[in-house]
């Protein structure tokens, strides 16, 4: 547990730098899948500034996303737009052809999902089982327990033969594209970023064994960066 959301952002940014350094040293490039939502905003801001920005070999970075809304890249809801505005447009050496966004604007979202799977086959490193093996995946957790766009009771939770699928989760503002569990589980390292009191009941439920999507990620290494507000019920605080 970390004291504040700012501390979570700093730990996430430092973890990104360390993972990038190790991956480039070992394999010549760093393949990362970024989370959507607002939780990564603080980490994005830190990564674009010294000393962290200077510690990453950006020319060796390949950027992917865990999920995207069914909107265009200029839409305010676009995960890709947010990452560009807060980080990707501000770092030196990052190649435009190394930024692999999901095409949420396509009318046929199944075709968009299959197109992204083709892009993963072409540009993401594949592990021994033939599934993409990202060096680092950032994930968030919604108050309903979703992660990426794997939402409670959604058919996407049971998918094992696709790497990317479209979803139409009930109660959400748009349809979405999401990586599936086989890809998340294939990562070398997964880091959850969880902040805010509104996440406390969900985090406590997952720790207690309640069946929610965020609790099912089983990568080689899974770390949870959680601030004090999100961990409140784990520390015995009253809701």
Number of domains in the chain: 1
pLDDT above 80 (res 57): yes
pLDDT at 237: 54
Which structural domain, as residue segments, surrounds residue 167? 5-138+155-234
Q: Is 27 within a domain?
A: yes
pLDDT above 50 (res 193): yes
pLDDT above 90 (res 122): yes
Q: CB count, 10 Å around CB of 4?
A: 13
pTM of this structure: 0.96
- Is the separation of the CB atoms in 190 and 221 below 8 Å? yes
Average pLDDT in the chain: 96
Residues 64-120 have pLDDT tens digits of 999 999 999 999 999 999 999 999 999 999 999 999 999 999 999 999 999 999 999
Q: Is 216 within a domain?
A: yes
- What are the distances in angstroms from CA 111 to CA 64, 107, 154? 18, 9, 19
Q: Is 24 within a domain?
A: yes
Identify the CATH number of the domain in which residue 13 sits. 3.40.50.1360
Q: Average pLDDT in the 50-73 region?
A: 98
pLDDT above 80 (res 216): yes
- For residue 39 the two structure tokens come to 């939780």
- Is the separation of the CB atoms in 159 and 181 below 8 Å? yes
Burial category of 51 from C-beta neighbours within 10 Å (exposed 0-12, middle 13-18, buried 19 and up): exposed
Q: Is 148 within a domain?
A: no
Q: Average pLDDT in the 150-156 region?
A: 96
Q: Is 146 within a domain?
A: no
pLDDT at 236: 62
CA-to-CA distance for 92 and 16, rounded, in angstroms? 16
CA-to-CA distance for 66 and 180, rounded, in angstroms? 9
Q: Is 62 within a domain?
A: yes
pLDDT at 239: 43
pLDDT at 94: 98
Paired sense of beta strands 176-179 and 164-167, if any:
antiparallel
pLDDT at 173: 86
CA-to-CA distance for 123 and 141, rounded, in angstroms? 27
pLDDT at 54: 98
DSSP notation for 107-154: S-HHHHHHHHHHHHHHHSPB-TTSSB--SEEEE---TTS-BTTB-TT-
CA-to-CA distance for 50 and 55, rounded, in angstroms? 8
Q: Is 144 within a domain?
A: no
Q: Is 145 within a domain?
A: no
Residue 238 pLDDT grade (very low, low, confident, very high; cuts 50, 70, 90): very low
pLDDT above 80 (res 213): yes
- Cα-flanking dihedrals φ and ψ of residue 223, to 5°? -115, 145
């Amino acid at each position: 547990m970390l004291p504040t959301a700012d501390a979570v952002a700093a730990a996430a940014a430092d973890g990104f730098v360390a993972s990038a350094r190790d991956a480039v040293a070992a394999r010549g490039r760093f393949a990362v899948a970024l989370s959507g939502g607002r939780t990564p905003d603080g980490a994005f801001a830190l990564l674009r500034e010294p000393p962290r920005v200077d510690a990453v070999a950006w020319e060796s970075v390949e950027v992917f996303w865990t999920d995207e809304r069914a909107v265009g890249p200029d839409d305010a809801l676009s995960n890709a737009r947010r990452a560009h505005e807060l980080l990707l447009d501000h770092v030196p050496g990052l190649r435009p052809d190394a930024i692999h966004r999901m095409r949420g604007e396509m009318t046929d979202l199944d075709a968009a999902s299959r197109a992204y799977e083709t892009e993963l086959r072409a540009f993401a490193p594949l592990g021994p089982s033939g599934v993409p093996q990202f060096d680092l995946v950032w994930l968030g957790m919604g108050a309903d327990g979703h992660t990426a766009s794997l939402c409670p009771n959604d058919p996407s939770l049971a998918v094992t033969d696709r790497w990317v699928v479209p979803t139409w989760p009930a109660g959400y503002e748009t349809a979405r594209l999401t990586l599936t569990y086989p890809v998340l589980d294939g990562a070398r390292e997964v880091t959850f970023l969880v902040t805010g009191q509104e996440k406390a009941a969900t985090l406590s439920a997952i720790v207690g064994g309640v069946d929610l999507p965020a609790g099912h990620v089983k990568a080689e290494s899974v770390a949870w960066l959680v601030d004090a507000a999100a961990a409140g019920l784990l520390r015995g605080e009253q809701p």
